[in-house]
Amino acid sequence: MNASAPLDGLTVLEISSFVAAPLGGLTLAQLGADVIRIDPVGGRADLGRWPLAPSGTSLYWTGLNKGKRSVTLNFGDAEGRRLLGGLLAASGPGGGIVLTNARQDWLAYPALARIRADLIHLRIQGHRDGRAAVDYTVNAATGFPLITGPEGLEGPVNHVLPAWDVTCGLYAAIGLLAAERRRQRTGAGSAITLALADVALAVAGHLGFLAQAQVTGTDRPRIGNHLYGGLARDFRTADGERVMVVALTRRHFADLAAVTGLAGTLAGLEQLLGADFGEEGDRYRHRKVITALLEPWFADRTAAAVERDLTGTSVLWSRYRRFTDLAADGTLAASPLLHQITQPGVGPLLAPGSPLAMDGTAGPDPAPELGADNAAVLTGLLGLSAADIRALADRGIIGGS
Amino acid sequence: MNASAPLDGLTVLEISSFVAAPLGGLTLAQLGADVIRIDPVGGRADLGRWPLAPSGTSLYWTGLNKGKRSVTLNFGDAEGRRLLGGLLAASGPGGGIVLTNARQDWLAYPALARIRADLIHLRIQGHRDGRAAVDYTVNAATGFPLITGPEGLEGPVNHVLPAWDVTCGLYAAIGLLAAERRRQRTGAGSAITLALADVALAVAGHLGFLAQAQVTGTDRPRIGNHLYGGLARDFRTADGERVMVVALTRRHFADLAAVTGLAGTLAGLEQLLGADFGEEGDRYRHRKVITALLEPWFADRTAAAVERDLTGTSVLWSRYRRFTDLAADGTLAASPLLHQITQPGVGPLLAPGSPLAMDGTAGPDPAPELGADNAAVLTGLLGLSAADIRALADRGIIGGS
């Protein structure tokens, strides 16, 4: 094995905002790429996005830009735009890579490929035809909100996790790595378009939602916290907590029946109903009666007692937690994923590195302050002197430091 | 530019089930990798997962295994296990790559690295310490269900989209590509562990949820379909439809105020409240009064009239749709992402390719039938004869064809 970072030598220029493009860059940075986020002087619209630290620093922006370098250029001035082109030209054999969700023509593939013929350029956009969209509109358009939430509820339930933005950002990282692999083999660059709406539709298709609608002409019902096609649900415990319990396989279900003392009752019920609870389909069809029989077992026990009894069985389960629970109960501190960083504008903080546990990766680095790397990047890549950089800042071509 | 597939020459052995590992393999396959899914004879527990076609074929399994080759080996027999090792050894310079969520020791890195020293091995597991978990338990443990759903609702709201499985599968694809890039540079393989629980915690951290809990000691409130820190919500139209409307920026909000004829009213309200609705924070703080003022405009109009009036403005919006709407209204047929395939066991179907629109990628291929590629793979990689293959099938070492 080896200690070099997986993406050692890769350099990405990221001209981005909000979630998807920054998460794509973050993912590559946490595997060792040099990701330089280039913003207009003063930053983009995501710079102050909630949640905020008491100082006003955005916990959202700092979370999504960890381990990157930050450069600020005056995009409105031809000289600022030329500096971006210069960085692209100077970014080395593992560079020439642009990740963006910006829509300006001078940041598009045709313009930048004139600077570097082997350019790899990935643009994230709302729809493939260029129309704008964001996670919340794409989610509404795709079908999930109308089957999410309690049975009988009227109207849509939006997700809180911006799942399409997250998914899109990871697809972007995949697209850049795939294109760079091809460039190493053939020398050719790539122009890649990635539409948020396509991401949602692709995932809905891969998971069978679109096929179900096409083949059966029906949508899944809104079934609350039950699992479609299986047996899983939340239960309330004696102390008012909630636990999620999942019996995916025959073995899980047998263990759940045994631990709750309901093996005989459930076997009798199978006979009465002519069902086979060893089959996932029958567990799903009879989910309401099965879970109604299970409810009292949970309602009679504290969450701690549930934990004691289910531990050691194959049953999959978890308490429901709040983010503040994870911070307060030591979960975050105990996780090998999170490391203490000192985030400018925020202070000490437990922050996650890459969930890909592999050698050559380190813990998370903090996010830069906006424009913090102007001098280092312009000197390192373009060879500018301190006096050059001061002059550029004085003339407003780059942000002040 | 060029026409070779981005991942031409990459060969992945996938020993997988359910969503995450199969989606990782699918993602690589749709970019041109040769992904060979290897199952025990008879298939794994996901083979019959709902939703089902009328024939009983799983729309879930076929959705997640498009464009792969399928091999079935008797994992319980030493000769079947040796065949897997042989395929690994014979998979070429772009091979030696294993993607799995299986937990058997003989499929783990140490055992398989004896067959191929440059092995890249990625194992998906529930927790990093090896404890089992699935999307639905990880989601409960992470904090999202208790802040999802209508304000005032008691108890958790689970997601229907298995967002952590999807995210995990994409991280797996990234990990394999990053490791293969390093192997090309250094010759060294990689042992990669990817825990579903880490994926959820990493994303919650990157998006600021964990920092908010740590820094402010508070969780986000449950705010229904409002957008935290911004102005967005669903509205009901005169014909009983719902539309999602998002005003992320000052311009979006100004356009929304203008098109609804409320610019003067909202400006007056700003003065009354001492607020600046040009600021995202103030739009969020006053979201209820602002959206209450907007409601009648939507309630007085059909969805078609809303569409007519909002088109051409910067306001981000969408109707809420069902999956069956997308199938029935031509959305799927019109999308360049989806192509008609003929899926064995299902029939003709519109299915998505990769959302990464780049040259060298093609439309989706159907999923194989289980074991359909036994002969082709064993002949192509191991040079077995038709008689050898018949004998293996007769002895139950490989699945019948």
pLDDT tens for chain A, 401 residues long, are 457 999 999 999 999 999 999 999 999 999 999 999 999 999 999 999 999 999 999 999 999 999 999 999 999 999 999 999 999 999 999 999 999 999 999 999 999 999 999 999 999 999 999 999 999 999 999 999 999 999 999 999 999 999 999 999 999 999 999 999 999 999 999 999 999 999 999 999 999 999 999 999 999 999 999 999 999 999 999 999 999 999 999 999 999 999 999 999 999 999 999 999 999 999 999 999 999 999 999 999 999 999 999 999 999 999 999 999 999 999 999 999 999 999 999 999 999 999 999 999 989 999 999 999 999 999 999 999 999 999 999 999 999 85
Nearest chain B alpha carbon to A217? B324
Beta pairing, strands B34-40 & B69-73: parallel
Both tokens assigned to A163: 């799942």
Spatial neighbors of A256 by CB under 8 A, at least 6 apart, are A245, A247, A294, A313, A315
Q: How far is CA A348 from CA A56, A323, A342, B211, in A?
A: 15, 17, 4, 10
Work out the burial of residue B158: count CB atoms within 10 Å of its CB; fewer than 13 is exposed, 13-18 middle, 19 or more buried: buried
Global ipTM: 0.98
Q: Which of A157, A216, A338 sits opposite B157 (nearest CB)?
A: A157
Q: Which of A5, A213, A316 sits opposite B324 (nearest CB)?
A: A213
Any B CB within 8 A of A27 CB: yes
Burial B254-281 (b: 16+ CB within 10 A, else e): bbbbebbebeeebeebbeeeebebeebb
Residue of A nearest to B193 (CA): A357
pLDDT digits (tens, 9 = 90+) for B214-252: 999 999 999 999 999 999 999 999 999 999 999 999 999
According to DSSP, the residues that pair with B55 across neighbouring strands are none
**What pLDDT sits at residue B385?**
97
Instruction: With H, G, I as helix, E, B as strand and everything else as coil, classify residue B10.
Output: coil
> Does residue B299 belong to the interface with chain A, where contact is any CB pair within 8 Å?
no
d(CA A399, CA B227): 31
Amino acid letter for position B295:
E
| DSSP structural state of residue B74 | -
Count of CB atoms situated within 10 Å of the CB of A134: 25
Q: A393 touching B, CB under 8 A?
A: no
Residues of A in contact with B62 (CB under 8 A): 208, 211
Mean pLDDT for chain B? 97
B363: Cα separation from own chain's centroid: 18
Write down the pLDDT at residue B362: 87
Average pLDDT on B1-15 reads 89
Tokens 């669903």 sit at which residue? B234
What are the chain B neighbours of A151 within 8 Å (beta carbons)?
Answer: none
- Of all residues in chain A, the one with the smallest CA distance to B252 is A132
Task: Provide the pLDDT for residue A400.
Answer: 85
Which of B38, B112, B238, B202 is CA-nearest to residue A361?
Answer: B202
- Kindly state whether A3 is in contact with chain B, defined as any CB-CB distance less than 8 angstroms: no
Considering chain B, what percentage of its residues have pLDDT values greater than 90?
A: 99
A65 touches chain B (CB under 8 A): no
Closest-CA distance, A24 to chain B, in angstroms, reads 10
Distance (Å) from the alpha carbon of B291 to chain A's nearest alpha carbon: 16
Cα dihedral B152, A48, A39, A353 sign: negative
For B134, the closest of A133, A246, A356 (CB atoms) is A246
- CB proximity B56 to A under 8 Å: no
Give me the catalytic one of A34, A135, A165, A255: A165
* Min Cα–Cα distance to chain B from A60, Å: 5
Question: In the numeric block, which tokens belong to residue B96?
Answer: 């030696």
Cα of A220 to nearest chain B Cα, Å: 9
How many CA atoms does the CB half-sphere of A103 hold within 13 Å? 10
Backbone angles phi, psi at B378, to 5 degrees: -70, -30
Question: Closest residue of B to A29, CA-based?
Answer: B178
From chain A, the residues in CB contact with B355 under 8 A are 168, 171, 194-195, 198-199, 201-202
Interchain proximity B320–A140, CB inside 8 Å: yes
Nearest to A356 by CA among B178, B30, B105: B178
Q: What is the pLDDT confidence band of residue B400, given thresholds at 50, 70 and 90? A: confident
| Entry field: residues in chain B | 401
Q: Do B4 and A191 touch (CB under 8 A)?
A: no
Known catalytic residue at A165: yes
Omega of the bond leading into A296 within 30 degrees of 0 (cis) = no
Interface contact flag, B178 A6, Cβ < 8 Å? yes
Compute CA distances A145 → A18, A106, A163, B154, B220, whole Å: 22, 37, 12, 18, 20
Check CB contact of A327 with chain B, cutoff 8 Å: yes
B 219-238 residues with CB < 8 A to A: 219-220, 224-225, 227-230, 232, 234, 236
Q: In the β-sheet with B242-247, what is the strand arrangement from edge to edge?
A: B231-236, B242-247, B316-319
Residue A339, chain B, CB below 8 Å: the answer is no
- Whether chain A has a CB inside 8 Å of the CB on B27: the answer is yes
Q: What distance in Å separates residue B377's CA from the closest CA in chain A?
A: 24
Q: What is the DSSP annotation of B217-257?
A: S-PPP--TTSPTTSEEEEEE-TTS-EEEEEE-SHHHHHHHH
Residue B2 has what pLDDT?
A: 54
Chain A CB within 8 Å of residue B336 CB: yes
Least CB–CB distance from B177: residue in A160, A178, A284: A178
> Quick one: CA dihedral B25, B30, B33, B35, positive or negative?
positive
Number of A to B CB contacts under 8 A, please give it.
504
Tens of pLDDT, residue by residue over B324-344, are 999 999 999 999 999 999 999
- Higher local confidence (pLDDT), A2 or B193: B193
Beta-carbon separation of B180 and A181 below 8 A: yes
Q: What is the pLDDT of residue A2?
A: 54
Element housing B210 (H / E): helix B209-216
Residue numbers of B annotated as active site = 165
Q: Which residue of B has its CA nearest to A159?
A: B148
On whether any CB of chain B is under 8 Å from the CB of A55, the answer is no
| Distance of alpha carbon A144 from alpha carbon B159, whole angstroms | 9
| CB A90, CB A36: distance < 8 Å | no
What residues in A contact B229, CB-CB < 8 Å?
49-51, 60
Residues A137, B317: C-beta atoms closer than 8 Å:
yes
Please give the pLDDT value at position B1.
Answer: 47
Q: Which of B:241-280 have CB within 8 Å of A?
A: 242-244, 246, 248-249, 280
State whether residue B2 sits within 8 Å of chain A by CB: yes
- Give the list of residues 6+ apart from residue B63 with CB closer than 8 angstroms, or none: A205, A206, A207, A208, A211, B351, B367
| A47 part of contact set with chain B, CB < 8 Å | no
CB-based contact (8 Å) between A139 and chain B?
yes
State whether B27 and A174 contact (CB < 8 Å). yes
